[in-house]
Structure 1
Amino acid sequence: MRFHSRKWVKPEDLNANGTLFGGRVLAWIDEEAALYSIIQLENKKVVTKYMSEINFMSTAVKGDIIEIGVEAVKFGKSSLNLNCEVRNKMTQETIVTVDNIIMVNLDDDGKPKPHGKTKIEFVKDRLAKKEEEA
């Protein structure tokens, strides 16, 4: 799994116990899943359809740096299935895992649209391919 982004846990990210608020980390996961899907599917119109059981395993406190990892596990006709892990950058301790996130590719009318993708693509490889074609 590749860890694509990092977040610095700030006072506004904490719950009443002084630890990372679960709702905040879920929002970060949803955003990361959307960004990952937009890049993979090459479409800005992507939405979250489903998020499976969420397993909180540890927490973070103010000043911690967390990193969010997302990976594609299955390409559907108009969907992309992902899994996610959030961990503490300094301790490498897992904070939360989500086994299945389903993102759906949409057309201009907001309806599911086939994306034609079957495997993970990296932007650098797409750019190199376009240069070869030019």
Structure 2
Amino acid sequence: MELVTQHLVQPDDLNYHNNLFGGKMLSWIDEGMAMYVMNKIRYTNIVTMSMDNVVFRSPARAGDIIQIYGKIVKYGKSSITSRTLAITNHPQTGKMSAVIESDITYVCLGENGKPTAYFRNFTPPT
């Protein structure tokens, strides 16, 4: 997997119990992985279709660094699926913990806003 993006958990990112909001984490993952996919396929008109098997395994707190890793795992006619892994990296201790591992599927849209068979003649990068 490749490092896709990193975020520093700030106090404004926390819920009442001082854990990172789950929605904030999902937003970081979706945005980072979408940009990763766009760069890999050289196409930008994509939308998120699904985030599968999202399970929060451990919390993140203020001062943690969230590192998001990804890789492409499957191409369809108009869709592409990536696997992502988000971990917390505690800068003072060096301890790392898995937070989320999930598959995210994006769909390529044409000019009409409908799915387009972008991958019909696509050669995946090596």
TM > 0.5: yes
The Cα RMSD (Å) is 1.4
Name the residue aligned to 1:107: 110
Name the residue aligned to 1:55: 55
Is 1:3 equivalent to 2:3 in the alignment?
yes
**Scaled by the length of structure 1, what TM-score is found?**
0.83
Consecutive unaligned residues of structure 1, counting only runs of 5 or more, are 123-134
SS at match of 2:105: strand
Name the residue aligned to 2:41: 41
Once residues 98 and 75 of structure 2 are traced to their aligned partners in structure 1, the CA distance between those partners, rounded to angstroms, is 26
SS at match of 1:56: coil
Question: Which residues of 2 match residues 1-134 of structure 1 at below 5 A?
Answer: 1-90=1-90, 91-98=95-102, 100-116=103-119, 117-119=122-124, 121=125
Once residues 123 and 19 of structure 2 are traced to their aligned partners in structure 1, the CA distance between those partners, rounded to angstroms, is 39
Residues matched between the structures, number: 120
- Residue identity in the other structure for 1:114: A
Q: Which runs of 4+ in 1 moved over 6 A?
A: none
Once residues 60 and 37 of structure 1 are traced to their aligned partners in structure 2, the CA distance between those partners, rounded to angstroms, is 25
Name the residue aligned to 1:131: none
1:33-92 Cα deviation digits (max 9, x unpaired):
211121122112100011112111111110111100111100111110111110012322
Consecutive unaligned residues of structure 2, counting only runs of 5 or more, are none
**Scaled by the length of structure 2, what TM-score is found?**
0.88
